[in-house]
Structure 1
Amino acid sequence: MNPVASASLVAVALGFGLWAGVLIGRSISRRPATRPDVRRGPTLAELLQRTFRTTGSGLAVLSGSGEVVLHNRRAAELGVVRAGRPDPRAWAACRRVLDGVVATDVVDLAPLEARGRQPAAVMATVQGLGDGFTLVEAADMSESVRLEATRRDFVANVSHELKTPVGAVGLLAEAVLDSKDDPETVERFASKILRESTRLGHLVTELIALSRLTGAEALPDLEEVEVDEVVSEALGRSRLSAESARIDVTVDEPSGITVDGDRTLLVTALSNLLENAIAYSPPDASVSVSRTVEDGWVEVSVTDRGIGIAPEHQVRVFERFFRVDPARSRATGGTGLGLAIVKHVLANHGGEVRLWSRPGTGSTFTMRLPAARPVAGDRDPAGASGVGGV
C-alpha cells in the first residue's frame, strides 16, 4: 500500500476510533451500577492504539502549534520525532497542509547528520486530520534507494563492458580493410577480432544468465542431481583452459552424493569456479576439487595455489564486474560476472558459496548445498575444504 493510501486509512481509523470511544463511553455510563462485571474483548479504541503502536510505519499526530500529540516508537526510530519535537521538515510540510497549499504533502526526511544505524532514506506523507491536526506517516526507503543505486551502477558497468569489445572490433575491422593487401597483417587483426567477439559473446551470455537468476523468472523444477556427474561435466568444460595454462587439476574419489537442484546451473557454477582458479594460478601449478557431506550439507570445494585475495577484496569478489586484478582478468578473457553467477546459483538452491584466501598462498571457494538425502558414513571434512592443504 502506498504512503498516501495508508495515511488515509489511519486518518479514517483515528476518526472512527474516537467516535467509537465516545459511543462506548456513553453506553457504559448508562449501565446499571448493580450489573455484574462481564469479561469483554478490546474496544475499537484499544485496537486502534495497538495498531498505532505496532505498525511498521512511523506515525505522529501534530497539533496546529507544532506539538507532538501522539507518536509511536517507529516515528522516533525514523527521526520524525526527536526529543518530543517534530522534525523541522515534517512540521514545515504540516504547515503547508494546514494552510491549504496542498491536500497531502510528501517530504524527504533523510537524516540531517550521521546517526549510527538509523535509516539513510526516509520518506513521509503528511495529511490533514481536521481541527488543526495533521498526521505524519514515514517509511524507511533505504532498501529501495540502495537497489536503485545498484541498478544504476549495473547499467553503467554493462555499458562500459560492452563498449570495450564493440569498439575494439570496429577498430580492428578498419585495420583489416586498410591492410587487405597484407595477408599477414590481416590474419593478425582477424585473430584479434575473433578474440574480442568471443569475449563479447561470453559477456552477453553471462548477462542473460545473471538476469534470469536475479529476476522474477522461476528456476526449473529441481530434481535429484548426482554431484559426481556435476564435477565430471565441469571438469570437461575446463579441460582445455587447464591444458592451455599448464594447470594440473586433481579430483578426489567419487562420493555418490546427491542434491536437489538444476544440473545445468550447478555445472555452470562449478565451471566458473574452476575457470577462475585456473586463470589466477601460475603455470605448472595445481588446482584441486573435493567433495564432502557435513551436517546435511554437501560441500564442493575448488582450491588453487595462486595469487590469493587480499582481505579487503574478499567481501567484494562476488559483486558484478568486480575484478581483483583487472589487467589479468581482461588478458584471460574474464567478464567479471563469473563469481556473481556462482553466488546467485547457490542462493537459488538454498545454499551459499564460501571463500577462504590468503595473499601469496591461494584460495578455496566452497559451494554449499542441502543434501538430497542422508549419506551413510559422512566423510571427515577436515582438509576437504582445501584450507588445510593450501
Structure 2
Amino acid sequence: MTSLIIGVLLVVGGAMVGIALDRSLLRRWIRNRDPRRHHPAPETRAASSRRRSARHAIEDAERRVESAEAGQLSAETAASRVEASLDALQAGLVLCDRNGRVVAQNTAATQFLQARHGEALVAPVIKDLLEQARSGELVTTRVELHAEPRRSYEVRAGPVERGGEMLGAVALVHDITEHDRIESVRRDFVANVSHELKTPIGALSLLADSLAADSDPEVAAHLAGRMQIEIQRVANTIDDLLTLAMLEDESGRPGARVDVGAVVAAAVDRISETAEQNDVKVVLSNRTAATAIRGSRLHLESAVFNLLDNAVKFSESGGRVDVVVEADQQALTVSVTDEGIGIPATEQSRIFERFYRVDRARSRSTGGTGLGLAIVRHVALNHGGDVSVTSREGFGAKFTVTLPLDSGD
C-alpha cells in the first residue's frame, strides 16, 4: 500500500530543517484539533432535540397504548358483569337494533328463541312485538302453552330511545304460571269460604223461620236437630280455617319429643266410632319401634285424623282402611290406604289445595270442609316432611306422610 508523504521546510535558528509527515496522520491530528468537535453545530443540536422529541412521542404512545389496554380490560370486565347480571334474570330479555337484528339476549330468552317444541311458540310472538316496539309502541300479550306441563307467559316490548333517536327495542318474557296458579287459588279460597259459610247460615235462617212458624213439639225437635248440624258445620269450617292459618304462620319445627306410633293410635281411636257407623274396618299396623320424632303432637294427630276421616267417609259400607307406620334410617312414614272411590289422575295435583273437592256433592253430604288435606300438607311441611298420594279412580287411594328422623335423636 502506497502512503503519501508531505514534506515541510522549516527554518530554525537560521538553519533549514525538513520534516516529512504522513498525510493520514496529519488529517487525524487536524481533526482532533478542530474545536467544532467539542461544540456541536446548531444542526446537530436540532437533530438531538428531534431525537428527544421522538423519544418522548414514543413514550407517550406507549403510555396511551397501556391506557387503552387498561380501558379495554375494564370495558370487557364491565361487559362481563352486565352479561352475568342479565343471565341472572328469571325473565327472558331480547334486545334488537333499529333494523330489527337481535344484538343481545340472556340465557332465559335462549330457551324461547332456540326451542323446537312448546316454547317455540313464544319466539314468533317476541319478534312480532319487537317489530311493533321499533315503531314506538309499548305492547303486551299473553302466550298460553296447553301441552303438559301447562305454562303461561307474558311478553312485553318497548322502544329503546336516546335523545329522541330510535336505537332499537327490548322485549321481556315473564313466566306467570305460578302467579296465575296463586291467583286462582286465592279466588277459589274467597269463593269457597263465602259458600261454606253462606250455605249453613242460609239453612239456619230457613230452619229458624220454620221453627218459629210451627208449634208441633216433634217438628220443633227435628228442626232443632237440623240447626245443630248446620251450626256444627260452621264451627268445623271456622276451626279448620284457624288451624290452617296457625300452621301457615308457624316458622320452624316444634321441639317437643313425640311418639308418632302413639299419635297414630290415638287418631285411630278417635275415628273408630265414625268407622263403625259407616261399617268400615280400620286396621293399624306399627312395623317399627323407632317412632319418636320432634314435633307437635296436636298437629300430627290432627293430620293423621284428617287422612282417616277422608278414608272412612269415601269408603263403601263393608270397606277397609289400612294404617301402616314404618321407618328406615332417615325417615318415618305413616300411610293410610282405603278401598274407596279413588281419585282421578287429573285431580291429584290439586287435592291439597284449600277447599278443593273432587266430588263436591259427596263432600257436602259427609260434612267435610274441604280443608283437611291442606291441613295435612302444612303439618307435614312444618315437620320437615311431605305428603303424597297414589290412586286409581275406582280402586281406592293411598296417602303417605313422610317425616324425617334426623332431628328426633
User: TM-score with structure 1 length normalisation?
Assistant: 0.73
SS of alignment partner, residue 221 of structure 1: coil
Instruction: Measure the CA separation in 1 of the matches of 2:349 and 2:143.
Output: 27
Which residue among 349, 353, 365 is the counterpart of 2:383? 349
Q: Work out whether 1:281 is the aligned partner of 2:315.
A: yes
For residue 162 of structure 1, what is the aligned residue in structure 2? Answer: 197
Instruction: Measure the CA separation in 1 of the matches of 2:191 and 2:405.
Output: 39
- Cα deviation digits, residues 182-202 of structure 1 (max 9, x gap): 111111111111101101111
SS of alignment partner, residue 142 of structure 2: coil
Instruction: Measure the CA separation in 2 of the matches of 1:269 and 1:115.
Output: 35
Instruction: Measure the CA separation in 2 of the matches of 1:270 and 1:301.
Output: 9
Q: 1:159 to 1:31 in 2, by over 3 A?
A: same
Which residue among 164, 177, 182 is the counterpart of 1:142? 177
Task: Give how far 1:286 is off.
Answer: 3.5
Instruction: Measure the CA separation in 1 of the matches of 2:257 and 2:130.
Output: 56
For residue 229 of structure 2, what is the aligned residue in structure 1? Answer: 195
Structure 2: give runs of 5+ residues left out of the alignment: 1-60, 114-118
- Cα deviation digits, residues 282-330 of structure 1 (max 9, x gap): 3444433221113411011223333434444444433333334433322
Q: Work out whether 1:302 is the aligned partner of 2:336.
A: yes
Q: 1:349 to 1:41 in 2, by over 3 A?
A: farther
For residue 38 of structure 2, what is the aligned residue in structure 1? Answer: none
SS of alignment partner, residue 161 of structure 1: helix
Greater RCO (Cα-Cα under 8 Å, separation 6 or more) = 1
For residue 278 of structure 2, what is the aligned residue in structure 1? Answer: 245
Structure 1: give runs of 5+ residues left out of the alignment: 1-25, 98-104, 376-390
Q: 1:93 to 1:325 in 2, by over 3 A?
A: same
Root-mean-square deviation over aligned CA pairs: 3.6
Q: Is the 8 A contact 1:59 1:135 kept in 2?
A: no
Greater helix proportion: 2
- Number of aligned residue pairs: 336
Q: 1:204 to 1:116 in 2, by over 3 A?
A: closer
Q: 1:32 to 1:66 in 2, by over 3 A?
A: closer
Which residue among 356, 361, 382 is the counterpart of 1:327? 361
Task: Give how far 1:144 is off.
Answer: 1.5
Which has the larger Rg? Answer: 2
Instruction: Measure the CA separation in 2 of the matches of 1:270 and 1:313.
Output: 21
- State the AA in 1 paired with 2:309: E
Q: Work out whether 1:317 is the aligned partner of 2:351.
A: yes
Instruction: Measure the CA separation in 1 of the matches of 2:124 and 2:406.
Output: 56
For residue 120 of structure 1, what is the aligned residue in structure 2? Answer: 152
Q: 1:123 to 1:345 in 2, by over 3 A?
A: farther
Q: Is the 8 A contact 2:292 2:408 kept in 1?
A: no
Q: Work out whether 1:89 is the aligned partner of 2:133.
A: no
Percent identical: 35
For residue 380 of structure 1, what is the aligned residue in structure 2? Answer: none
User: TM-score with structure 2 length normalisation?
Assistant: 0.70
Instruction: Measure the CA separation in 1 of the matches of 2:220 and 2:111.
Output: 67
- State the AA in 2 paired with 1:265: H
Q: Is the 8 A contact 2:265 2:284 kept in 1?
A: no
SS of alignment partner, residue 400 of structure 2: strand
For residue 111 of structure 1, what is the aligned residue in structure 2? Answer: 143
Q: How does 1:45-124 map to 2 (within 5 A)?
A: 45-77=79-111, 87-96=127-136, 105=138, 107-111=139-143, 119-124=151-156
Greater mean alpha carbon deviation, residues 346-355 or residues 290-299: 346-355
Task: Give how far 1:257 is off.
Answer: 1.2
Task: Give how far 1:275 is off.
Answer: 1.0
Task: Give how far 1:245 is off.
Answer: 2.6
For residue 183 of structure 1, what is the aligned residue in structure 2? Answer: 217
Instruction: Measure the CA separation in 2 of the matches of 1:159 and 1:32.
Output: 71
- State the AA in 2 paired with 1:240: E
SS of alignment partner, residue 47 of structure 1: helix
Q: 1:51 to 1:282 in 2, by over 3 A?
A: closer
Q: 1:361 to 1:27 in 2, by over 3 A?
A: farther
Which residue among 356, 362, 370 is the counterpart of 1:336? 370
Q: Work out whether 1:230 is the aligned partner of 2:263.
A: yes
For residue 66 of structure 2, what is the aligned residue in structure 1? Answer: 31
SS of alignment partner, residue 167 of structure 1: helix
Q: Is the 8 A contact 1:66 1:86 kept in 2?
A: no
For residue 383 of structure 1, what is the aligned residue in structure 2? Answer: none
For residue 367 of structure 1, what is the aligned residue in structure 2? Answer: 401
